[in-house]
């Protein structure tokens, strides 16, 4: 790669953005990888295990973090948001706003600041379950390996963290910065957010504590999560003896998300594995419209089919009702195979909510389709989308996508060097 080639800008530091950045950089390109939150990793970092191998996502992420650390061509900007993008393919100017972290590189993660901090903030990483101190680290392997401080959560005039830090790593005077970079191409890898389950009124999310979503299930099962890895009922902390998984919660529904999110069936089958590992005798019921598990993920379905205490019910859910005395949930559903209705009671209901693309903060030129995903348009070289902002899918699809986007961006960088 010519030294005059302009860097590639990657927006979003989830698995897709990390992959695009690494693939482009390892091929010789300079890369600016910007992430709006304080740490890289995106949604994958919040999972307990990920299919197909069911290994903890931190294994794969850690290898990638090491590759980033060892690659001087990658500049990582966290707490960073794109303010503007002007120019043409091969010759863009990006202005990036960087919010203060209030922590310097000398941080050793000794945790003295956390111990001293008297203030709390909602634990966004755990989807709002529980709290962290105002000085926080999302997860043990987080990258960059240094705390961040949410100043809006601090008490007026408090300096407890700074006073406790013997490495002089706390700097409460840091200010917002602006950075302008000339880049050859932009990859949008801004990912997804879970569909807001409170909008699906008949399923009781938000009204009944024991109705949770699939992303919360990941955090309940994670050893670092709010229940130290125990799947417990939110209402009373009891072990659930019967669990219902409700597929297509809002998905493939004209009133909510008209499309299939591609991964929710496999995710629920994975969650049934989590449940079975903790509760060998629990009753599991899976309410579905269709069971969609492409390729090797079919193995999950097959394995679950052999589980004597797992039942499948084809049919839509009419309603979920709570018994306020016990917190138990009555699920009324159609049984499309028998052609009638069923009523069953469960300790916990898990909604398989779908994937909503995150396009906020993307510059003009990245045009959303009718479902708000960003399609790549080859007549518009220089701007590429990768991962779940392009289409819903599993990590391996995001990796393939991100590698393709890196190649297209690399070609722009090469051309930018040739044409000055
Ligand atoms: C319940 C559930 C379980 C799943 N389990 C599995 C599994 O076991 N195996 C598997 O292969 N897949 C699984 N998936 C799918 C997997 O989560 C996705 O494939 C993966 O997260 C896609 O990564 P991404 O980088 O595209 O998006 P994300 O993980 O969402 O990352 C996007 C990143 O971009 C950042 N960002 C967003 N907007 C901006 C902006 N404007 N500026 C800067 N940064 C921004 C975000 O903060 C985030 O860090 C599951 C999905 C669900 C719903």
* Ranges assigned E (strand) in 111-269: 120-122, 131-133, 135-136, 148-149, 177-183, 185-188, 192-194, 211-213, 242-249
Q: Is ligand 1 within 6 A of the CB of residue 14?
A: yes
Task: Determine the angle formed by the axes of helices 57-69 and 15-26, rounding to 10 degrees.
Answer: 40
pLDDT at 394: 95
Best probe residue, ligand 1, of 192, 193, 214, 389 (max atoms within 8 Å of C-beta): 192
Question: From ligand 1's centre to the CA of 191, what distance in Å?
Answer: 5
CA end-to-end distance (rounded Å), the chain: 14
Please tell me the predicted confidence (pLDDT) of residue 380: 75
- Residue 420 banded pLDDT, cuts 50, 70, 90: low
pLDDT score recorded for residue 299: 87
**Index of the ligand 1 atom closest to the CA of residue 355:** 53
Provide the pairing of β-strand 329-335 with 242-249: unpaired
Q: Is 12 in the pocket of ligand 1 (CB under 6 A)?
A: yes
The DSSP string of 8-61 is: EEEE--SHHHHHHHHHHHHTT--EEEE-SSSSS-GGGGG-S-BTTTTB-HHHHH
Q: Is the CB of 360 under 6 A from ligand 1?
A: yes
Read off the pLDDT of each residue in 296-304 and give the average, rounded to a whole number.
85
Report whether residue 191 contacts ligand 1, using a CB cutoff of 6 Å. Answer: yes
307 DSSP β-pair partners: none
**Mean pLDDT of all residues in 119-137:** 97
Residue ranges of domains in the chain, CATH in brackets: 8-99+176-191+358-419 (3.50.50.60), 196-354 (3.50.50.60)
pLDDT at 301: 86
- pLDDT exceeds cutoff 70 at 419: no
Q: Cα(307) to centroid of ligand 1, in Å?
A: 30
Report which protein residue has its CA nearest ligand 1's atom 4.
267
Distance 394 CA to ligand 1 centre (A): 9
**214-269 pLDDT, tens per residue?**
999 999 999 999 999 999 999 999 999 999 999 999 999 999 999 999 999 999 99
Centre of ligand 1 from the C-alpha of residue 24, in Å: 20
Split at pLDDT 50, 70, 90, the class of 203 is very high
User: ω into residue 285 within 30 of 0, thus cis?
Assistant: no
- Strands of the sheet with 74-77, listed across from one edge: 74-77, 31-34, 8-11, 185-188, 383-385
- What pLDDT is attached to residue 415? 87
Average pLDDT, the chain: 95
What is the per-residue pLDDT for 26?
A: 97
Q: Would you say residue 300 has pLDDT above 90? A: no
Ligand 1: which residue has its CA nearest to atom 15?
394
Range 87-91 average pLDDT? 93
Q: Which of 34-43, 203-212, 220-229, 299-308 has the lowest mean pLDDT?
A: 299-308
User: Residue 295: is its pLDDT beyond 90?
Assistant: no
Q: Given a cut of 90, is residue 200 above it in pLDDT?
A: yes
Lowest model confidence (mean pLDDT) among 30-44, 235-249, 390-404, 406-420: 406-420
Q: Is the CB of 392 under 6 A from ligand 1?
A: no
Q: Hey, which of 12, 51, 292, 406 would you mutate to test ligand 1's pocket, going by the most ligand atoms within 8 Å of its Cβ? A: 12
pLDDT at 95: 98
Predicted confidence at residue 294, as pLDDT, reads 80
Ligand 1 pocket residue status of 6, Cβ below 6 Å: no
């Amino acid at each position: 790669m010519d030294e005059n080639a302009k860097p590639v800008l990657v927006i979003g530091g989830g698995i897709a953005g990390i992959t695009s950045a690494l693939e482009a950089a390892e091929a010789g390109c300079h890369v600016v990888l910007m992430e709006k939150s304080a740490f890289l990793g995106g949604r994958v970092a919040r999972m307990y295990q990920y299919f197909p191998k069911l290994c903890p996502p931190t294994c794969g992420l850690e290898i990638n973090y090491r590759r980033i650390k060892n690659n001087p061509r990658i500049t990582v900007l966290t707490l960073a948001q794109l303010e503007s993008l002007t120019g043409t393919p091969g010759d863009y100017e990006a202005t990036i706003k960087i919010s203060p972290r209030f922590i310097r590189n000398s941080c050793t993660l000794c945790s003295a600041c956390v111990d001293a901090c008297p203030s709390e903030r909602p634990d966004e990483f755990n989807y709002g379950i529980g709290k962290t101190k105002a000085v926080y680290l999302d997860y043990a392997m987080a990258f960059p390996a240094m705390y961040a401080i949410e100043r809006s959560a601090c008490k007026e005039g408090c300096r407890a963290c700074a006073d406790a830090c013997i490495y002089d790593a706390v700097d409460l005077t840091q200010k917002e910065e602006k950075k302008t970079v000339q880049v050859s191409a932009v990859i949008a890898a801004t990912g997804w957010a879970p569909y807001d389950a409170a909008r699906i009124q008949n399923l009781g999310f938000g009204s009944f504590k024991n109705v949770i979503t699939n992303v919360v299930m990941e955090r309940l099962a994670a050893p670092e999560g709010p229940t130290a890895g125990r799947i417990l009922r939110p209402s009373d902390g009891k072990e659930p003896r019967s669990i219902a998984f409700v597929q297509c919660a809002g998905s493939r529904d004209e009133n909510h998300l008209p499309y299939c999110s591609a991964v929710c069936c496999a995710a629920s089958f994975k969650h049934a594995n989590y449940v079975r590992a903790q509760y060998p005798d629990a009753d599991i019921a899976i309410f579905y419209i269709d069971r969609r598990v492409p390729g090797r993920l079919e193995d999950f379905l097959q394995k679950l089919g052999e589980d004597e205490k797992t039942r499948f019910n084809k049919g839509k859910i009419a309603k979920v009702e709570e018994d306020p005395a016990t917190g138990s949930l009555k699920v009324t559903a159609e049984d499309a195979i028998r052609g009638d209705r069923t009523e069953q009671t469960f300790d916990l209901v898990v909604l398989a909510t779908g994937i909503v693309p995150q396009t906020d903060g993307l510059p003009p030129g990245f045009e959303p389709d009718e479902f708000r995903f960003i399609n790549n348009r080859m007549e518009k070289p220089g701007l590429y989308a990768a991962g779940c902002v392009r289409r819903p899918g599993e990590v391996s699809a995001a990796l393939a996508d991100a590698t393709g986007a890196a190649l297209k961006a690399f070609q722009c960088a090469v051309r930018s060097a040739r044409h000055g």
